[in-house]
Amino acid sequence: MRIAFIGDLQYATAEEERLDLKMAQIREQSPDLAIVMGDIGGSHMKSVGGFQETKKYVDMIGCPYEVILGNHDVEYAPFDPVIFDYETVYHDVFPGKELFSVKERDGVLMICVSCERRPPEDFRTHNAVFVSDRRFEAVRSALKAHPGVPTLLVTHAPLAGSGLRRWMPLHAGATDMYLDMTFKAGRWRELAAEFPQIKMSVSAHLHLSHEYKSAITYRGGLMHLSCGVMTVCARDDIFQTRFADVDADGAVIYTLDHSTGEFRRDAEFPFDGEPSGNLSSPADGKMQLGDDLPTSVWKYGGRYYAATEKGLLWEYLPELCEFGGAIMLKGGADEICASEGRLLVRNFAGEVFSFDPESTGRYERIGGCAPPERRGEKAMRGDPLPRADFGIETEKEGNYVVFMADQ
Chain residues binding Fe ion by CB under 5 A are 39, 70-71, 205
CA distances from 122 to 117, 185, 329 (A): 10, 15, 22
Q: Report in angstroms how near the CB of residue 176 gets to Fe ion at its nearest.
A: 7
CB of 41 to Fe ion, least distance (A): 12
Nearer to Fe ion (CB atom), residue 199 or residue 205: 205
Nearer to Fe ion, 116 or 305 (CB): 116
205 vs 346, beta carbon nearer Fe ion: 205
Which CB sits closer to Fe ion, 117 or 205?
205
How crowded is residue 383: how many other Cβ atoms within 10 Å of its Cβ? Answer: 9
Minimum Å gap between C-beta 261 and Fe ion is 27
Residue 42 or 70 with smaller CB distance to Fe ion: 70
Please name the residues in contact with 27: beta carbons below 8 A apart, sequence gap of 6 or more. Answer: 60, 61, 62, 63
Burial of 66 (0-12, 13-18, 19+ CB in 10 A): buried
* Nearer Cβ to Fe ion (74/401): 74
Q: Write down the least CB distance from residue 39 to Fe ion, Å.
A: 4
Give a three-class secondary structure readout of the chain.
CEEEEECCCCCCCHHHHCHHHHHHHHHHCCCCEEEECCCCCHHHCCCHHHHHHHHHHHHCCCCCEEECCCHHHHCCCCCCCCCCCHHHHHHHHCCCCCCEEEEEECCEEEEEECCECCCHHHCCCCCCCECCHHHHHHHHHHHHHCCCCCEEEEECCCCCCCCCCCCCCHHHHCCCCCCCCCCCCHHHHHHHHHCCCEEEEEECCCCCCCCCHHHEEEECCEEEEECCCCCCCCCCCCCEEEEEEEECCEEEEEEEECCCCCEEEEEEEECCCCCEECCECCCCCEEEEECCCEEEEEEECCEEEEEECCCCEEEEECCCCEEEEEEECCCCEEEEEEECCEEEEEECCCCEEEECCCCCCCCECCCCCCCCCCEEECCCCCEECCECCEEEEEECCEEEEEECCCC
Nearer to Fe ion, 10 or 399 (CB): 10
Nearer to Fe ion, 75 or 397 (CB): 75
Compare residues 71 and 151 and give the one whose CB is closer to Fe ion.
71
To the nearest whole angstrom, how small is the minimum distance from the Cβ of residue 1 to Fe ion? 26
Give me the least distance between CB of 402 and Fe ion, in Å please: 28
Residue type, 260: T
Smallest gap from Cβ 77 to Fe ion, in A, equals: 17
With CB atoms as reference, the residue minimizing the distance to Fe ion is 205
Q: Which of 86, 305 has the CB closer to Fe ion?
A: 86
Question: To the nearest whole angstrom, how small is the minimum distance from the Cβ of residue 373 to Fe ion?
Answer: 27
Cα(168)–Cα(150) distance, rounded to whole angstroms? Answer: 33
Q: How far is the CB of 369 from Fe ion (least distance, A)?
A: 22
Q: In the bound complex, what is the minimum distance in angstroms from residue 397's beta carbon to Fe ion?
A: 20
